Chains A and B, each alone.
Chain A
Amino acid sequence: MNILSLSLRNTGRNLQRTLVTTLSMAFACFIMIVFSSLMEGMLQGSERQVVEMNMGDIQIHTKGYLDDPDIYAMITDTDTIIDALERQSLNAAPRLYAYGLLAANMASAGVQLRGIRLRHEKNVTKLYQHVEKGEWLTQNSKKSVVIGKKLASTLGVSLGDELIFVGQSSDGFMANEIYMVQGILKSVSDGIDRSGVFMLEESFRELMALPTGFHEIVVSRQDRNADLDALTSQLQNRIPQYEVKNWRQLMPVISKMLEGADAQMIVMLIITYVAVASIILNAMLMTVFERMHEFGIMKAVGVSPWQIVRLIYAETLVQTIFASIVALIFGWWASSYLQLHGLDMSSFMSGSISFGDIAFDPIWYSYITPESLMTPIIFLVLIAMVAVIYPASKAAWIKPIDAIYYR
């Protein structure tokens, strides 16, 4: 007896029943795929928000700079370091920092100046895409700045308004200059929102009398899957005179939070899988049990128990494969759509918000990974196979006379 052809014929015989079973399995699997991708997207998105917006994957400073940001604590061989990094497929952007007072009209606020190198900054962070009003800095922005969202409202300024910066330059003089507001950022992080002022490297150097050196180099991986910890140690070994830290070490709370979210995600997935398992179990059990009569007849005419088991498994396999294909097609399609367009949650939130040190975008994107597609399918097949054990064995070893009357 050709099991395969028999199983196919059996499946086709009661098409309705098969369809119902298969489609519910497919549906369950589809939900799982969409869900996994959304979760993956959430995780990736959160990490990316942190990393891409401002922190980068890794940061380099002079030793002790983070505890006591001294304008004189500078990295001196910046260009050499950046070249070496770029040869290793890492993007790097150097930065200058200083503190001072920004005044406009009658209001003033303590701010942190950030001198950046445009070209490099664009490779490493997405800040340039995050401007809410106006535009990002350009090569001509010698006397313009881009400021944080809350800073703009504290000072009561908008595009084109004038700002005066006053601070102490490196040679002890009173640094002061007028700048124009060229852009106002969306929410990035608490620090930047409240006190971030971005300007060109040249403008910074002129203002603060710092002709060379940088305070920070921000590094990001081009390959997002490269091992962060390994990379951090490797870089630290190459430049032992400086301090190399990755974003998890720099922002342990956020890191913890995302890990916590990770764990939560897994719990959710497990729960979802259990829910799905019950459906599949249900479907398979019913499929077999209501054909008990049929199996009884088969046994009565001499089909061996093992053949019955093989038959049932073959049918199950056919159904699950069919379900998988359907689930895969629709799941992939739906997740791709969500990966591109995302779930718009802006009816729940007004614009972008920053909470603590991360900004949240109101659009939830999916992210398709091989795991998010294959795991649900593998799971489906596995559960189905397991679910069928009980009814299959029952069918295989029941006494024909009982089977015929099986209710």
Chain B
Amino acid sequence: MSSLISRLALIPFFFIINLAQAADQRTTDILAEIDDLWRGKSSYTLATLNVKTKHYTRSMTMESWSKGKEKSLTRILTPLREKGTITLKSGNHIYTYLPKTDRTIRLSSGMMMGSWMGSHLTNDDLVKESRLEEDFDASISFEGLRDGGDIIEFTLIPKADAAIVWGKITIEVEATSHLPIKEVFFDEDMNISRTFTFSGLKMMAGKIRPSIMRIVPIDEPDEFTEFVFDEMTLDIELDDNFFAKSALKRL
């Protein structure tokens, strides 16, 4: 699941490091720090996904393995109805194994905008990370007190060539610990589209990190999608074969 978090929240972070032109060294450093929060050559996470929409409220637990940025595998543990569903991402392909029908399907471009597991995230969000090399220009837009806390705010503007629909993304981090607090996505007219908030700081894999990430869409403020990390282990031994399509059924 860490790969998922990094994909969603820290897309900008990863690649800001690779920026040709970092606005200044401090930005680069802080963002690198944040980046290190999630970095690991490989990872294993156990997490709970809570989704509330107008029509349903659900909760799922899943375990997830990742290797680098390209490969990840997620398996659902509860509820019983979805137990055994596996999503495999390898490079630019996503496969889903459905235990009920014992079939594997490959996601086509037509499914990319469909919601992932009924949440407020899309399949596209999951795949985006690998395609977002060097997509943003970052700079510090605010430093100081806000909402009772000392924060630094970064503003990321997508580059002209980047395949990003957003107008801009802002990231707020805690001034001293550099732990992420909030991430806001804006459309091209600079209206807020969705907000990610980070909370639940706890010790995981030897460091303090936020364990809860919540996504709220602006047009339905009563709805949310929430990831809660229960466990995380980094830099574990993982074979490439683990992420092969043929391995799906074996699990």
Does chain A touch chain B in the assembled complex, meaning CB atoms less than 8 Å apart?
A: yes
Q: Which residues of A contact B (CB under 8 A)?
A: 72, 101, 103, 108, 110, 164, 166, 168, 170-174, 176-178
Q: At the interface, yes or no: B58 with Cβ under 8 Å from chain A? A: yes
Q: In the bound complex, what is the Cα–Cα distance between A164 and B100 (angstroms)?
A: 11
The answer to whether A101 and B98 touch across the interface, beta carbons within 8 angstroms, is no
Given A101-B111, A173-B82, do A178 and B103 touch, yes or no (CB 8 Å)? yes
Is B74 part of the contact surface with A, judged by Cβ < 8 Å? no
Q: Is the CB of B56 within 8 A of A168?
A: no
Q: Is the CB of B118 within 8 A of A172?
A: yes
B77 smallest CB distance to A (angstroms): 15
Contact with A along B32-64 (1 / 0, CB 8 A): 000000000000000000010111101000000
State A164–B108 Cα separation when bound (angstroms): 14
Given A164-B101, A177-B101, 19 more pairs with CB closer than 8 A: A103-B105, A166-B111, A170-B55, A171-B56, A171-B58, A172-B51, A172-B53, A172-B117, A172-B118, A173-B58, A173-B81, A174-B82, A174-B85, A174-B98, A176-B98, A176-B100, A176-B101, A176-B103, A178-B103
CB neighbours of B98 from chain A (8 A): 164, 166, 174, 176
Chain B residue contacts of A171, Cβ below 8 A: 55-56, 58, 118
CB distance from B170 to the nearest CB of A (A): 29
A sample of 16 inter-chain contacts (CB < 8 A) reads A72-B55, A101-B110, A103-B105, A164-B101, A166-B98, A166-B105, A168-B115, A168-B118, A172-B51, A172-B53, A172-B55, A172-B58, A172-B118, A173-B82, A174-B85, A178-B103
Closest to B82 in A: A173
- Report chain B residues within 8 Å CB of A173: 58, 81-82, 118
Residues 49-104 of B at the A interface (beta carbon under 8 Å):
51, 53-56, 58, 81-82, 85, 96, 98, 100-101, 103
**Count of chain B residues with a beta carbon within 8 Å of a chain A beta carbon:** 23
Pair B114/A168 contact, Cβ less than 8 Å: yes
> What secondary structure prevails in chain B residues at the interface with A?
mixed
Distance to closest chain B CB from A313 (angstroms): 76
Q: Which residues from chain B contact A172 at a C-beta distance below 8 Å?
A: 51, 53, 55-56, 58, 117-118
- Chain B residues within 8 Å of A110, by CB: 110
Q: Which residues of A contact B82 (CB under 8 A)?
A: 173-174
Which residues of B lie under 8 Å from residue A164 when comparing CB positions?
A: 98, 101, 103, 105
Residues on A with beta carbons closer than 8 Å to the beta carbon of B101:
164, 176-178
Q: Are A174 and B118 interface neighbours, CB within 8 A?
A: yes
The residue that A170 contacts in the complex, of B51, B56, B96, B115, with Cβ under 8 A, is B56
Q: How far is the CA of A101 from the CA of B110 in the complex (A)?
A: 9
- Contact between chains at B110 and A108 (CB < 8 Å): yes
CA distance A159 to B25 in the complex (A): 65
Minimal Cβ-Cβ distance residue in A for B100: A176
Q: State the Cβ distance, A347 to closest chain B Cβ, in Å.
A: 40
Cα distance, A177 to B103, chains bound together (Å): 9
- Docked Cα-Cα span, A166 to B116, in Å, equals 12
A399 to chain B, nearest CB (A): 91
Assess A108 versus B118: contact at CB under 8 Å? Given A171-B56, A172-B58. no
Q: Is the CB of A108 within 8 A of B55?
A: no
Please name all residues of chain A whose beta carbon is closer than 8 Å to the beta carbon of B108 when the two chains form the complex: 101, 108
- Measured between beta carbons, the chain A residues less than 8 angstroms from B58 are 171-173
B100 near A177 with CB under 8 A, answer yes
Residue ID in chain B nearest A171 by CB atoms: B56
- In the bound complex, how far is the Cα of B28 from the Cα of A282, in angstroms? 101
Query: How far in angstroms is the closest Cβ of chain A from B182?
Result: 26
CA of A176 to CA of B84 in the docked complex: distance in angstroms?
Answer: 13
Chain A residues, Cβ within 8 Å of B96: 166, 174
CA A108 to CA B98, docked complex, whole Å: 16
State A178–B105 Cα separation when bound (angstroms).
Answer: 12
Query: How far, in angstroms, from A48 to B98 measured CA to CA in the complex?
Result: 43
Contacts of B81 in A (CB 8 A): 173
> What residues of chain B lie closer than 8 Å to A178, measured between beta carbons?
101, 103
